[in-house]
Amino acid sequence: MRCRAFRACSAETDVQAVITFWSSHRAELAALLGQHVILVAISTSIAVLVGVPLGVFAARRPRVAAPMIGFANVVQTVPSLAMFGFLLPVPFVGGVGARAALVVLTLYGLLPIVRTTIAGLRTIDPAIREAGVALGMTTRELLRYVEMPLALPSIVAGVRVAAVVGVGSATIAAAIGAGGLGEYIYRGLSMVDTTVILAGAIPAALLALTVDAALLWVERQLSARRRPRASRRTAVIGVAVAAVVVVSSGLAARKAGGAIVVGSKNFTEQIILGELLAQTIEREGVPVSRRLNLGGTLICDRALMTGDVDVYVEYTGTALTAIFRQPIDSDPHAVFETVRTAYARTGRTLLPPLGFNNTFAILVRGTDARAKGLRTIDDAARESPAWRAGFGYEFVERPDGFAGLARTYGLRFPRPPLVLDLTLSYRALASGQVDVIAGDATAGLIKGLDLVQLEDNRRYFPPYDAAPVARAETLLRYPRVREAIERLGGRVSAADMRAMNYLADVEHRDITTVVREFLARLR
Amino acid sequence: MPTQAIEFRDVTFTRPGGRAVLEGFSLSIDRGETLALVGRSGAGKSTTLKLVNRLLLPESGTVLVDGRDTRDWEPIRLRRHIGYVLQEVGLFPHMSIADNVGIVPRLEGWPDDRIAESVRAMLELVGLPPQQFASRWPDELSGGQRQRVGVARALAIDPPILLMDEPFGALDPITRAELQREFRRIQERLRKTVMIVTHDMAEAFALGDRVGVLDAGTLAACDVPDAVASSQDPRVRQLLDALPRVPGLLG
């Protein structure tokens, strides 16, 4: 395992840390595992119900089979994250949440099942099929008594592949808020915390192995020629065990349900702010579903629009430029008003700003800053011909991002910027792989990794005041929730935010606890 | 009811490839008669059988089963009216011997006890003690035993007609002779209408009440074995000359 600068690094400490994490998150772990099992069980079942008849249909019509397999192959090669992206704007099946995840997982499950159904049927000895016809079987009887039983071991092999692939793909479903063990993996990635990543990855891997072994056993039972009557009892027991697992998973997963859905983007500060909203709402006695770690700005915005999410924290400048495509403006009040009006037009309410401005921070290593006397972005422009830059996906694309910055300051990097995950960029800077990045001004890692923020002396960046934005109808239904969130206005300073980010990212404190302690101090 | 169970009237059948397999083929088989049809490999013997149970339909001419054109029969009814013993046996590998024999009764919706009774009777008929064989699997049986199961399966719902496609072709000579004897014993009892095809003239003589010789798509001869054996028709002689001569047994 790769060592990290600020954390003791040995296999034992990691294992211990993961076990400690599990025991302190027992209920959450059970709920996520439950969601994971349910996602895979439902999507695989649908894939079987659709895929087997499709396979039967295609096996009889070779002209249909080839294009169908081709299409399924193409679907299979679409990376799952991209597939979730495609489906975001699609009504009914798309959007964020479990439904969209089920659609994607089902599509992935279809290919192996269709293919093995076709293969299973095609490899049946023609003489056996002819015997069935000659004995006077109808097409349906032939399928029921001869073809399906003979193809079953092959079909079950396909189901096995589908289910195991499903367990893997379901971890990615956390990106669109479908829950499951992927939540720990994403949370861990955004916190750069191996413990949390492993806390999700290990049970996911064990689940995959268990599913694989269980279905392999079923496959063996079926392909064994001698099937004495007694094994029917074993089969009944197997089905009963599977049913118990799925039902109890469903019960565990249900505990995660709630009346108001709180969302967040996929980095530490957003998760903290999401948790802050969630605990604030829960204190009003209203149950909350957390869909934290939802991916980027546009996914959150879409989710808020469709009602998959009721509230999350946005930054005014981000809403202005990335969501509403308005020109950059440096006056915080003007920006807040513009954005509030734009939200109001689409049935959403921008609540009072929390009290800190999370502007983009152009960051360099502390050692460089001190050695070369770097203070402003103008200073960096001087050095830029000798530097390599690394930026997050959003910063490269956004209208208030890299292109404008380069124009404003005359940055001239010899190579185009390296595009990498925002969270990883801090570490890439600290380890010298890049020389300048665009981070968050409130990032805890700035202090943790000895990075220095350069001053935006030409006032390029618009204000990014953090403010909760909610669906208007939700606020109307829960007026006390609205009041409670409004009371947070102005109570979270930049210093508070940086401190919480530091606790989560660098000290690896549990976010729920960090937020609870912060709220306790507010009273 | 007509006395002919099966009748071919001027039947022509061409394979999808284009070669005519049967041309102006006529033949009739009486109720309770065993007709053995002999011909070289590829002469169209299997095709002839498939025309009877409507696995194939003739291009021109008609095939009548119990006096009715196969085109007018509902195919499923027709096939359950006719037992069929296949060349490769075609037992279902995923079913026990009892389930294989009981499949057609099951398709007919018989109650379980009646199916069990029929399976027992059929296995006894073909000389496989049920308590020993019923719960075994096709791949645990010898070729001869499998062929007996094939016959039992074909007879399970007591169809009046039985078609047999090279039923004993893949067996060693001793087992074959044993099964041929067994077949004659069963046929004495049941008196089914049987149409059996084979490439082996000796087998045709051993089993058939009448023997038909199929050559170039038409019937070169069709008569009782003695008459066929003394035929001077070169197409028949060709097949007769292929019979092995055992020194000291003939002449």
Q: What is the mean pLDDT of residues A178-203?
A: 81
Contact B55 A226 (CB under 8 A): no
| Chain A residues in contact with B78 (beta carbon < 8 A) | 136
CA atoms within 13 A on the CB side of A286: 23
pLDDT band at B248 (very low <50, low <70, confident <90, very high): low
Q: Is B109 on the interface with A (CB under 8 A)?
A: no
The answer on pLDDT for A4 being more than 50 is no
Q: Is A135 on the interface with B (CB under 8 A)?
A: yes
> Cα separation of B160 and B190, whole Å?
9
ipTM: 0.87
Q: Which residue of B has its CA nearest to A223?
A: B94
pLDDT band at A297 (very low <50, low <70, confident <90, very high): confident
pLDDT band at A8 (very low <50, low <70, confident <90, very high): very low
Task: Give the tens place of pLDDT for each residue, A150-170.
Answer: 998 899 999 999 999 899 888
Contact A136 B88 (CB under 8 A): no
Q: What is the mean pLDDT of residues A224-253?
A: 67
- What mean pLDDT, rounded, does chain A reach? 84
* Percent of chain A surpassing pLDDT 90: 33
pTM: 0.66
At residue A93, the pLDDT reads: 61
Contact A136 B92 (CB under 8 A): no
Q: What is the mean pLDDT of residues A273-285?
A: 92
Contact A136 B90 (CB under 8 A): no
pLDDT band at A2 (very low <50, low <70, confident <90, very high): very low
Residues paired with residue B64 on neighbouring β-strands, in sequence order: B7, B69
Residues paired with residue A223 on neighbouring β-strands, in sequence order: none
Mutate to test the interface with B, among A123, A128, A135, A223 (most CBs of B within 10 A): A135
At residue B41, the pLDDT reads: 80
Q: Which residues contact A442 (CB under 8 A, 6 or more apart)?
A: A269, A356, A358, A494, A497, A498, A501
At residue A476, the pLDDT reads: 84
Closest CA to A34 of A153, A180, A226: A180
Q: Which residues contact A251 (CB under 8 A, 6 or more apart)?
A: A34
Nearest to B55 among A134, A138, A141 (CB): A134
> Cα separation of B131 and B240, whole Å?
43
The answer on pLDDT for A225 being more than 60 is no
Give the containing element (helix H, strand E) for A289. Answer: strand A288-291
Q: Where are the beta strands (DSSP E) in chain B?
A: 4-14, 20-30, 34-38, 60-65, 68-69, 82-85, 161-165, 193-198, 210-215, 218-223
C-alpha distance from B244 to closest chain A C-alpha (Å): 31
Q: What is the mean pLDDT of residues A403-426?
A: 87
Contact B107 A135 (CB under 8 A): yes
Among A22-31, B124-133, B174-183, the minimum mean pLDDT is found in A22-31
Contact A131 B90 (CB under 8 A): yes
Q: Where are the beta strands (DSSP E) in A393-486?
A: 418-419, 436-440, 451-454, 466-471
Nearest to A146 among B78, B92, B104 (CB): B92
Q: Is B222 on the interface with A (CB under 8 A)?
A: no
Per-residue tokens: B244: 């092995």
Residue with tokens 């029917």: A232
Task: Give the tens place of pLDDT for each residue, A28-80.
Answer: 888 889 889 989 999 999 999 999 999 999 888 878 878 878 887 787 777 77
At residue A422, the pLDDT reads: 80
Q: Is B110 on the interface with A (CB under 8 A)?
A: no
> Cα separation of B230 and B234, whole Å?
11
Cβ–Cβ < 8 Å for B212, B221: yes
C-alpha distance from A275 to closest chain B C-alpha (Å): 58
The answer on pLDDT for A1 being more than 50 is no
Question: Strands B193-198, B161-165: parallel, antiparallel or unpaired by DSSP?
Answer: parallel
Q: What is the mean pLDDT of residues A9-33?
A: 78
* Percent of chain B surpassing pLDDT 90: 52
Q: What is the mean pLDDT of residues A423-452?
A: 87
Residues paired with residue A249 on neighbouring β-strands, in sequence order: none
Q: Which residue of A has its CA nearest to B83?
A: A135
| Chain A residues in contact with B106 (beta carbon < 8 A) | 145
pLDDT band at B231 (very low <50, low <70, confident <90, very high): confident
Task: Give the tens place of pLDDT for each residue, B195-211.
Answer: 999 988 888 999 999 99
Q: Is A145 on the interface with B (CB under 8 A)?
A: yes
Cβ–Cβ < 8 Å for A39, A103: no
User: Residues for chain A: how many in total?
Assistant: 523
At residue A96, the pLDDT reads: 63
Q: Which residue of B has its CA nearest to A148?
A: B94
The answer on pLDDT for A275 being more than 90 is yes
Question: Strands A348-350, A260-263: parallel, antiparallel or unpaired by DSSP?
Answer: unpaired
Cβ–Cβ < 8 Å for B82, B155: no
> Cα separation of A400 and A414, whole Å?
22
Per-residue tokens: B94: 């995923």
pLDDT band at A491 (very low <50, low <70, confident <90, very high): very high
| Chain A residues in contact with B49 (beta carbon < 8 A) | none
| Chain B residues in contact with A136 (beta carbon < 8 A) | 75-80, 104, 107
Q: What are phi and psi of B83, to 5 degrees?
A: -80, 150
Q: What is the mean pLDDT of residues A98-106?
A: 83
C-alpha distance from A215 to closest chain B C-alpha (Å): 20
Nearest to B90 among A128, A138, A141 (CB): A128
Among A192-201, A346-355, A511-520, B35-44, the minimum mean pLDDT is found in A192-201
Task: Give the tens place of pLDDT for each residue, B93-147.
Answer: 889 999 999 999 999 999 999 999 999 999 998 889 999 999 999 989 988 899 8
Among A42-51, A111-120, A405-414, B17-26, the minimum mean pLDDT is found in B17-26
At residue A483, the pLDDT reads: 92
Mutate to test the interface with A, among B96, B103, B135 (most CBs of A within 10 A): B103
Q: Which residues contact B146 (CB under 8 A, 6 or more apart)?
A: B89, B91, B138
| Chain A residues in contact with B94 (beta carbon < 8 A) | 149-150, 225
